[in-house]
Amino acid sequence: MDIDDDLLEAATAILGASTMKEAVNRSLQSVVLADRRRRHADRLDEMRGVDLDDPAAMSAAWR
């Protein structure tokens, strides 16, 4: 695997990783979590599968 040394060094410092393996694994985890957050935000933006626009559900939520 050919990894950019400068990017690896920067990622290692940012993540506070002590090994290349840790830096790579934490970087991959960050990418996966960012995608998961983006998909959840998209779902909320489109109101898909949520009842936030249901007046009955929302009135009960504030009790």
Report pLDDT digits (tens) over 26-55.
999 999 999 999 999 998 888 787 787 788
**pLDDT at residue 48, rounded to an integer:** 80
Q: Are 17 and 26 in contact (CB under 8 A)?
A: yes
The candidate with the shortest Cα–Cα distance to 5, out of 20, 17, 16, is 20
